[in-house]
Structure formats: C-alpha cells, structure tokens
Amino acid sequence: MKNIKMVISYDGGNYIGWQLQATGDTIQGVIEAALGQILNRHTRVIGSGRTDAGVHALNQVAHFVTDSTLDLASLHRGLNRLLPRDIVIKEMVEVSPDFHARYSARSRIYQYLVWNNRVRSPFYRRFSWQVREHLDSDAMRRASGCLVGWHDFASFQGAGSVCRSSEREILRWTVGGRAGRWIVFTVEANSFLRHMVRNIVGTLIEVGRGGLTPAEFRVVLEARDRSRAGITAPPQGLFLKEVRY
C-alpha cells in the first residue's frame, strides 16, 4: 500500500465546499470520482481541512492510500485530464505511511482579499470582496493585534459549529498595504472555527469604516458573544494559502 500526498488548487465558486455532502458538487467528491475512473475502485481522499462553499485554495493538501501499481507521473497526468478546469493537482508524491493530511498539520494559513474601490471589477468579483467605502488600514492593523495568541474566539464562531471548545491559537495576523487598492488579510493558526476568518474580517471592516475603534474590537473578542461581532465576510475573498507540517 502507498500513501500519496497531493497539493491541490481550486476555484471554489462552483462548489458547495471541500467536504462530501449528501447533495451538491464538492471538491473532494469530484477528485474521488476522477480517481475512481483511473483506479477502478472507490478511493477515499482525506483533506487537511474543509473549506466552505465558494472558498478557494491555492495549496490544499490531501492524501489517499492505494495499492495501484500505476506510476505516479501517469496517475498525476491522468487525474488532471479528468478534472474540471477549476481544480488542479499541482503535486503528487508518495509519503510515509504515518502522514495524515489533517492530523499531521501544524498550522494553516488563509488569506482574505478585499477590493477597496468604488468601481466594481469584472475580473476580481469571483476572488475578492468589494468594499466601496474608504478603509483605514492602520486602524484595522491596530485592532487585529489583540487576535494573536491563545483566545476564546466564540465571538467569531459561525452558527452550527459542533466544536467542543471555541479556543484557538492565532500565530499571526497581518493586514497588507494598499497596493493597487487591495487590502490583504493573512492569518496563520493551529486550527479554525467555522466561519472564524470571515467573521473576523467582517468585524475588522467595521473598524476600517470607522464603526468600531480598535479598543472596541478587543471588547468584541473578549465578549465571547457572536451577536457583538460584525457580519460574515462573503466566501469568494477567502483562500487557503498553505498548510504547514
């Protein structure tokens, strides 16, 4: 048996998320179906974590176990030929039997892109959130400083979460500069709650608009009350950038 690691990029706009669901197209389901055509058997693909409907990945990591004798180069080419154009297997390598895409991960890095411009873009609409009002990047940067470290992020936990604890550790959170009117939020954490990044971004945008001060943002974090936080940022601006092992 061989343990195969894949690095995957995808545009999540046409899917209801990474993870298999009872109805609707998912990234995992599409990849498993293509693998099944090549290997002539159902093969379970395990991802590093789920991404929600409409969320993208630059470098999602997954693994599967197979006893196929087909060489990896042929398997890699064949899989990419079968996959739709919005999903690409960037890398496929054999790894040690104890590697697990989810449980071996030390941290995950997400980026959220905001197009801060009064004029909408026909090109960026699928991959960013357009915010028309001027945003104060410095205020958002000051506010986000309180996020780093181990905290209870219940204020930013999405509805329907089944996690036993809402405590997580954010290793870094940065707010990128205004290069060509882009604002880029980057976060690295050991793990994430449902909608956690999008809920934090939605609340930081209120800081950028002047609706909250950095001090009030800290109060929202410490309240551990979702009703105190801002809106959930739309999914199309969110990217799983990297998984670290």
Q: What is the set of active-site residues?
A: 52
Q: Give the residue among 171, 179, 167 at the shortest CA–CA distance from 116.
A: 179
Q: What is the DSSP letter of 180?
A: T
The helix or strand, by DSSP H or E, that contains position 27, with its residue range, turns out to be helix 27-39
Buried b or exposed e, range 19-58, using 16+ CB within 10 angstroms? eeeeeeebbbbbbbebbeebbeeebebebbbbbbbbbbbb
The helix or strand, by DSSP H or E, that contains position 15, with its residue range, turns out to be none
**197/91 Cα distance (integer angstroms):** 27
Tokens in use for 98? 């104890």
**50/45 Cα distance (integer angstroms):** 12
- Report the 10 Å Cβ neighbour count for 175: 23
Phi, psi of 130 (to 5 degrees): -80, 120
> Do residues 53 and 41 make contact, with C-beta atoms less than 8 angstroms apart?
no
